[in-house]
Structure 1
Amino acid sequence: MIKNYLKTGWRNILKDKGIFSINITGLAIGIASCLLIMLFVTDELSYDRFHEKAERIVRVVFKANVNGEEMKEAVVMAPVAQALKNDLPEVTKSTRLAKSHNNRIEYNGTYFGQSSLAYVDPNFFEIFSFPIIQGVKNRALDKPNTVVISKSFAENTFGNIDPIGKTLKVTNRDENLTITGVIEDMPKNSHFHFDLLVSTLGYAQAKKTSWMESDFFTYLVLQKDTRIETVEAKLPAISEKYMGPQIKDALGMTYTEFTQDNKIGLFLQPLTDIHLYSDFSDATILEQGGDIKYVYIFSAIAIFMLIIACINFMNLATASATKRAKEVGIRKVLGSNKKQLIYQFLAESFIATFLAAFLALLLVSLSLPFFNLLAGKELNFQYLLSPEIILAFFSLIFFIGFLAGGYPAFYLSSFNPLNALKSKFSGSGKNSGLRSGLVIFQFVISAGLILSTLVVKEQMDFIQDKALGYEKDQLLVVRNSYLLGNNEDNYIDQVKNNPLVENLTHSAFVPAGESDNEVGGIFKNNEFQRRMSFYNIDENYIPTMGMELLEGRNFSKDFGAESDKVILNQKAIEILGFDKDPIGNTFQRDTHDGLKTMTVIGVIKNFNFKSLHQEIEPLILKYNPYGGIIIRSKVADMSVLIENLNDNWNNYNVKEGFNYSILDDAYNHTYLKERKMGTILSLFALLTIIVACLGLFGLVTFTAEQRFKEIGIRKVLGSSATQIVTLLSKDFLKLVGLSFLIAFPLSYFLMNKWLQDFAYRTSIHWWLYLMAAVVTMGIAFLTIGIKSYKAASVNPIKSLKTE
């Protein structure tokens, strides 16, 4: 019986190849889009779940609001881990990780350049499930100056030689490390990646007792079935117990007095939430994570794509009911019951769905490399071959088969045989209304996605064109000039004399991309105000960066040593209350040697030295050039200048090659996540409207066939092709227009929420709605017009002969 249903279904499908082709093409695009997004979402949700204790591991984070300064830091103080382990019975283990920067490794005199290195506690591998290939897991880091390396680092450094017992030298810290273990490379879906893990037993910072300095990423393992909220409720008392005495010593007030006007405390974050739910300052994160909002957005797109594809199937199947009305009537007269007819129509639906699924798999395999490039992923087609994915895929296919074919099957099988044989079906009335509603739904999604794409593009253009308070174009950053050692000044003089160089500054502080960071406590009249960021610069920084000095003077060698002089931005002036005549005012800065008085010599215009997601914060510029150089080029094409700088660098026989970055590129990279989202959104907006227009094309095709004779009569009576096209198009275009009334308010609400993530953002202008409407209506009209014009161009004699 099933074989007969399938055979008959296949024959019926071949009778109308056009509608069938439209159906499987739309379904294939919908399924392929769903599979691609499913791979993306699955990968995003998989971060850190490979650890055996993943559901019990939490990270301790620090949040505060002190005198208006909001702090969100993923690092906490060195003694926190042990204190929480000792004081909280719910905590079974605790461990720490401290990221190290600019690590340069040598082995047997061979230089290997920069490597990712972190200091971790000896029990690190008892908490995190990184497989150890060589060495003893629980004893690999139980001695000072021991290191566990990754498999790829071992292969690149030692080849086939056994690395255990070998000594690596960290040249920038003159530190020798003995290799005691090798681990598999950390998986891509980990929120941190390091090639070298060094024991904290030889790390001086790990022995600090201060509860005022945050340096360590701290993780706890909770007992089974422990609620995070239960543990978090005990943290304020622990903060008061340990921070209280140190706040008293540093600020001269009790913990209770301090927290009357300020909020400060430790909080817990589940390990599996770190990748998608973190909003901590960039200076305190291990790696840039994802965003749960984009997971929701793309999941919704996948669902809508499938629904739209299924709507196409339903629309075309119910619209073509009149063509099959006599078939249903004859089958019923010959004894077929409703159940058999339902099975027959479902068989046709499943044939189309399985063919579409096969085509979708082909589309996924072809498009996956391109999608990986857009999304910044390394998704593999092999992921689809896992038992869980295969089961989910076939479940999806059966679900689509029933969803797409269920309503047409029940609708067609319910025809009265007498009316069916008389062909008393016009396709109007209740079912026409349903089809109209489904067309509106399709274009609500399509128009909404087009408007959302335009808003994202507008915000990205706003970010690109915004006046930042400095000139980011034609700036070249050399972060590692300190590697030149005693030759650094000579190299800087050579660069200054290059005819392609307009200006140069000696500083490691850059307002976009990788930069040094310094934060210090600020006191006024010996009373704590808040923390502020510092930039260490020279006298050429302000002119090189194209910044505007509003009052006072710049640093100058004519005034001798200026280590106690500072230039403040407008925000710092406002917070410190120096609005009137700020030049000459003083404040104190917290240093290792106690409070140091600083004198204001200038005021600089506010500039964005952090992401546009954040408001401009107070900033202090002080004279202390070191670390790197920033070069302003006279020409936009810097290829010749870069070649010259490289040649000069190589003259000094530096172990590490010349490395540079272009500030404009670094600035754009800051918003890479948003740009990727915009690009992917554009792609799926295009695919969505293609699928919707396929359905529209099919409906117009069917309508033209239904009104074939009418069109012929109208032409004989003098109607032009334009009038015929208008006749066939107007009802569908009305539906598309109605969809805007739903799509635009909904898109405004969602995109306005997305824009709230930016402290500096564009507005959703009226012309964006107009552009979205014109694009959507234009594509729809083109789709309808092509088929309508073809129908209107048919010789009327041919249509009249069909009677």
Structure 2
Amino acid sequence: MFKNYLKIAWRNLTKNKGITFINTIGLSLGIGCFILIALFVTDEISYDRFHQKADRIYRINSDILFGGTEMHMAVSSDPMGATLKKDYPEVEEYTRIYASEGSKLIRKGTELIDEYAITYVDSTFFNVFTFPVIKGNPKTALQAPNTVVISEKAAIKYFGSVDNAIGETLEINSNGNTLYKVTAIIEDMPKNSHFRFDVLLSMANVNYGFGDYLSHNFHTYIVLREGTDYKKFNNNFKEVIAKYSLPQISQFTEIKSMEDIEASGNKIEYSLIPIKDIHLHSSRSVELSANGSIKYVYIFSAVALFILLIACTNFMNLTTARSSGRAKEVGIRKVLGTGKKSLILQFLSESTLIVVIAHGIAILFVFLSLDWFNNIAGKEISVKALLRPQFLAFLIALPFIIGPLAGIYPAFFLSKFQPITVLKGNLTKGMTKNTLRNFLVIFQFTTSIILIIGTIVVYQQLNHIQTTDVGFNKDQVLIVENSGLSNETRKSLKSEIEQLTEVKSASFAGYIPVSKSARSDTTFNTESVITAENGFNMQYWSADYEYIETMGMELIAGRNFSRSFGTDSTAIILNEKAVALAGFKNPIGKKLYKTRDNNNKITYTIIGVVKNFNFESLRQDVGPLSLRLGDNSWRTAYRFNTMDVEGFIGKIRKKYEAASSEISFSYSFLDDFFLDMYRQEKRIGTIALIFTVLAIIIAALGLFGLAAYIAEQRTKEIGIRKVLGASTALIVQILSKDFIKLILFSFCIATPIAWWFMSSWLRDFAFRIQLNWWVFALTGIITLLIAIITLSFQTIKAAIANPVNSLKTE
């Protein structure tokens, strides 16, 4: 019986090649988009779940508000993990990652390679995290100083193979050249980890003033024992602050209790975040990598479902559109004794067969487009992801879910035809109105309008980011890395390159005004004795005489650092936000005080005020910042003015290579650094644009099917109207007006929904566009044009048809 169903189904599909083709293409696009987004979402929610103790691993976050400066950090103080393990039995283990020193130079033969995937970790690292070890003992690998654990990738990179690496040494430039012994080799860290390092150095080699509860530079992770509620455990941090942090605070301030802190409007708080939540729920400063966002997971999950439902809706519309062609077939079958159940199974077999064919095409589409999709989404999803047991089961089940879903309405619609009615040719009587079909059209175009508005707003915000005044001139600034060069060589190169005609100015610029650059925040006070009222935190950057000019910043009061003033070693330049926090109306000449680690105070004199500039992304307000005269020569910035950029870079490359043949010349542009901060939004915008276009195409196919259905139902009405003198234009208007009403109704529903969603998304940016009325108006016009163009083919075809053909049987 089932074989007979399939045979009849195949005959019907091949008989109506045009409708079958449109159905198959629409479903293929819908299913293909659904699978691609499912792969994206599955990858996003899989982060850090591979650790054996993933359900019990937590990172310590810090939230500090002091003197009007608020910081939400992914780091905590260096003794925090050890303190928690010592004082609270709920803590099974802890480990720390110290990534503040950035990249390091590693020698490979006669070449020095700048290694970015490098960090310091505790010897307990492998007691917390699960990274399979190929060779060596992970429990003892990092206990001794000058030891290093490397990934399989790094072993091949530096030693040629895994077998040659174990027991060998790596020469690493870190506070001088140090030889590290390779004690273990691990598999490459999974792509779905919120941090990925290839070189793990022993924490014993960190040159740091350990034991300071007020300095936050370590990513600290703890493992809680089974059954511990981490939310309740968060309450213990108040006791930790009172017992350990406050005594250190009171050494150089008048703050003696938590009440003193809270009374002044300040706060110090710590909390735990599950490691499985970090990638999608954490966007703090000093993250180990750029995280995703649960918002985008929800949005794309909804888009995937909507696109699939739009494709299924098209199938329903196109199937019912050719219902009159199957009506007599159904009537004859019923007269010959075929039951309703058998007819439903027959039509469900047809829909499932189309879906199976479309599903095969969709998988081919996914296979061919996966590399392209990875490039756009910034992912590394492999074809093997399709073959994972759970996802494979999902793929196998998908057509047998979609098939009945897409075919259930047409099956019941066609099977309920009455033999007498259809054989008399009265099929369309009383069936011109269909609430479900109208609802489906509204659903299709409401979704499409929301997607169009969302895409336009995303691109508007991205354009705003690129064109807004950020307080410095990011164009035509070349940033060259100086790692591995001596201070004398750095200064010599800077002086030599400054003489080039293309160079307007040059500066040592270890601190640059973009995220992921070097950062240094510290506490200042406006009086010699710090209190909760006169103290505040701000960024504390070292800069040279040419820094402000090279970065294109604007001094709005006072002066820049000058070699003519010997007292500038204790001079400081503030931005406007820092001046406001300090409460100075006329800041020039005023004093600021900073307490050093040995409790000695240093007094700074304010000599200038620089206009606020965005040194973080435009998601955040400008924070307080200070510049002091100092050395930050691990990078040099060159502001240039030439159209021959490649030639200019070539000149600088030659000078650097002449200065050191061992170090590879590494450079970037300041505006590229700036745009990197918004790479995720750019990717999301591109993905949204692509799926919006696909959703519109699929919706247009559905509208095409509906137009065919209505034209087929109203053939005789059109013929009568033409005989009575109706023009082609009038008939097109009559056939189209119901659809236009539905689309206008969709626009009324979609507009407030889109406004709410995009307003919520824009709130993530401190500097954002306003939602303009013309975006919604333009979207409405675009949607109407798409609908009119789609409808025109069927309506004009019906309007110009010879009325004799439709009326000759009456």
Which TM-score tier does this pair reach, normalised by the shorter chain? over 0.9
Alignment TM-score, normalising by the size of structure 2 = 0.95
Superposed CA offset, 1:637-674 (max 9, x none): 52221111111212212421221111111111110101
Distance 2:238 2:327 in 1: 74
C-alpha distance 514-651 of structure 1, shift in aligned 2 (>3 A): farther
The 2-side partners of 1:363 and 1:802 are apart by 46
Residue 184 of structure 2 aligns with an amino acid whose one-letter code is G
1:319-364 deviation line (CA, Å, top 9, x unaligned): 4333333322222222122211111111111111111111111111
- Identical aligned pairs, as a percentage? 43
Structure 2 match to 1:396: 398
Is 2:740 the counterpart of 1:737?
A: no
Match of 1:239 among 215, 236, 241: 241
Q: Is the 8 A contact 1:103 1:116 kept in 2?
A: no
Helix, strand or coil: the match of 1:757? Answer: coil
Q: Is the 8 A contact 2:63 2:270 kept in 1?
A: yes
Q: Counterparts of 2:519 and 2:219 in 1: how far apart (Å)? A: 17
1:557 match: secondary structure: coil
1:572 lines up with 2:574 in the alignment: no
Cα deviation code 1:23-78 (max 9, x no counterpart): 22111111100000000011111111111111111111111222322111111111
Residue-by-residue CA offset, 1:71-106 (whole Å, 9 max, x unaligned): 111111111111111222221111111114231112
Q: Which of residues 772, 776, 788 is equivalent to 1:781? A: 788
Aligned length: 799
In the TM superposition, 1:251-290 aligns within 5 A as 251-256=253-258, 257-260=260-263, 261-281=265-285, 284-290=286-292
Shift of the 233–431 alpha-carbon distance from structure 1 to 2, 3 Å rule, reads farther
Match of 2:564 in 1: 558
700-709 vs 7-16, greater mean Cα deviation: 700-709
Is residue 549–residue 605 contact of structure 1 (8 Å, CA) maintained in 2? yes
| Deviation by residue 1:292-341 (Cα, 9 ceiling, x = unmatched) | 11111100000001111111122233343333333222222221222111
Counterpart residue type for residue 555 of structure 2 = L
- Corresponding position: 1:176 with 2:179: yes
Indicate if the aligned counterparts of 1:484 and 1:654 stay in contact, CA closer than 8 A: no
Alignment of 1:330-349 (within 5 A): 330-349=332-351
1:3 Cα deviation after fit: 0.8
- Paired with 1:483 and 1:292, the residues of 2 have a C-alpha distance of 43
**Residue type of the partner of 1:270?**
P
2:418 to 394, 397, 416: 416
Q: Which one-letter code corresponds to 2:121 in the other structure?
A: V
2:56 and 2:223 in contact (8 A); partners too: yes
2:462 corresponding residue in structure 1: 460
Q: Is the 8 A contact 1:64 1:265 kept in 2?
A: yes
User: What does 1:305-324 correspond to in 2, within 5 Å?
Assistant: 305-324=307-326
Q: Which of 294, 297, 309 is residue 295 of structure 1 equivalent to? A: 297
Q: Distance in 2 between matches of 1:504 and 1:217?
A: 35
Moved segments of 4+, more than 6 Å = none
In structure 1, the partner of 2:541 is 535
CA 1:418–1:793: 2 relative to 1, 3 Å: closer
SS in 2 for 1:269: strand
Shift of 1:235: 2.1
Task: Give distance in 2, aligned partners of 1:127 and 1:730.
Answer: 65
Q: CA deviation at 1:710?
A: 4.4
Aligned equivalents of 1:425, 1:454: Cα separation in 2: 45
Partner of 1:248: 250
Q: 1:606 Cα shift?
A: 1.1
Q: Which residue does 1:588 correspond to in 2?
A: 593
Task: Give CA-to-partner distance per residue, 1:589-619, whole Å, 9 cap, x none.
Answer: 2323522111111111111111100001111
Secondary structure, counterpart of 1:164 in structure 2:
coil
1:566-645 aligned within 5 A: 566-579=572-585, 581-593=586-598, 594-627=600-633, 628-645=635-652
Q: Secondary structure at the match of 1:137?
A: coil
Shift of residue 545, structure 1, vs aligned partner = 2.3
Give, as a single letter, the amino acid of the residue that structure 2 aligns with 1:425. Answer: L
Q: CA deviation at 1:143?
A: 1.8
Take 2:794 and 2:419, find their aligned partners in 1: how far apart are those partners? 33
Return the letter of the residue paired with 2:261: F
Distance change (3 Å), C-alpha of 1:481 and 1:185:
closer
Give the secondary structure class of the aligned counterpart of 2:568: coil
1:787 corresponds to which letter in structure 2?
Q
**Which amino acid letter does the alignment assign opposite residue 768 of structure 1?**
V
Q: Distance in 1 between matches of 2:552 and 2:109?
A: 46
2:564 is paired with a residue of what secondary structure?
A: helix
Q: Does 1:203 align with 2:206?
A: yes
Bigger mean CA deviation after superposition, 588-597 or 743-752:
588-597
CA-CA distance at 1:266 after TM superposition: 1.6
Cα drift, residue 635 of structure 1: 2.6
Instruction: Decide which moves more: 749-758 or 567-576.
Output: 567-576
Q: How do 1:422-501 and structure 2 match up within 5 A?
A: 422-426=424-428, 429=431, 432-480=434-482, 483-501=485-503
- Please, what TM-score do these two structures have when normalized by structure 1? 0.96
Task: Give ranges in structure 1 of 5+ residues lacking alignment.
Answer: none
Deviates more, 1:622-631 or 1:775-784: 622-631
Cα distance in 1 for residues equivalent to 2:555 and 2:148: 49
Q: Within 2, Cα distance between the matches of 1:562 and 1:166?
A: 48
Matched, 1:768 2:769: no
Are the counterparts in 2 of residues 154 and 182 from structure 1 also a CA contact under 8 Å?
Answer: yes
Q: SS in structure 2 opposite 1:139? A: coil
By how many angstroms is 1:19 displaced? Answer: 2.0
Aligned to 1:136: 137
Q: Secondary structure at the match of 2:493?
A: helix
Change beyond 3 A, Cα 1:119–1:56: same
Partner of 2:104: 103
Distance 1:596 1:485, change over 3 A: closer
Correspondence 1:187 to 2:190: yes
Q: CA, structure 1 residues 227+431, in 2 after alignment: closer, same or farther (shift >3 Å)?
A: farther
Q: Does 1:90 align with 2:90?
A: yes
Alignment pair present for 1:350 and 2:352: yes
Consecutive unaligned residues in structure 2, runs of 5 or more:
none
Aligned-pair CA distance for 1:508: 1.4
1:545 is aligned to: 551
Q: Give SS of 1:181's match.
A: strand
Please state if 1:219 is matched with 2:221.
yes
Within-5 A mapping of 1:52-63: 52-63=52-63
Change (3 A) 1:26 1:131: same
- 1:757 matched to 2:760? The reply is no
Instruction: Give yes or no for contact 1:483–1:654 (8 Å, CA) kept in 2.
Output: no
For the aligned residue pairs, the C-alpha RMSD in angstroms reads 2.0
After superposition, where does 1:17-56 map in structure 2 within 5 Å?
A: 17-56=17-56
Partners of 2:413 and 2:574 in 1: CA distance? 74
Cα separation, 1, equivalents of 2:483 and 2:642: 22
Does structure 1 conserve the Cα–Cα contact (< 8 Å) formed by 2:173 and 2:484?
A: no
The residue type paired with residue 693 of structure 1 is A
Report the Cα offset of residue 272 of structure 1. 0.6
1:251 aligned counterpart, secondary structure: coil
Q: Distance in 2 between matches of 1:699 and 1:27?
A: 16
Distance in 1 between residues matched to 2:174 and 2:255, nearest whole Å = 41
| Equivalent position SS for 1:225 | coil
Report if the CA contact (8 A) 1:513-1:663 is conserved.
no
Contact 1:107 1:167 in 2 (8 A): no
- Pairwise CA distance, 1:725: 2.7
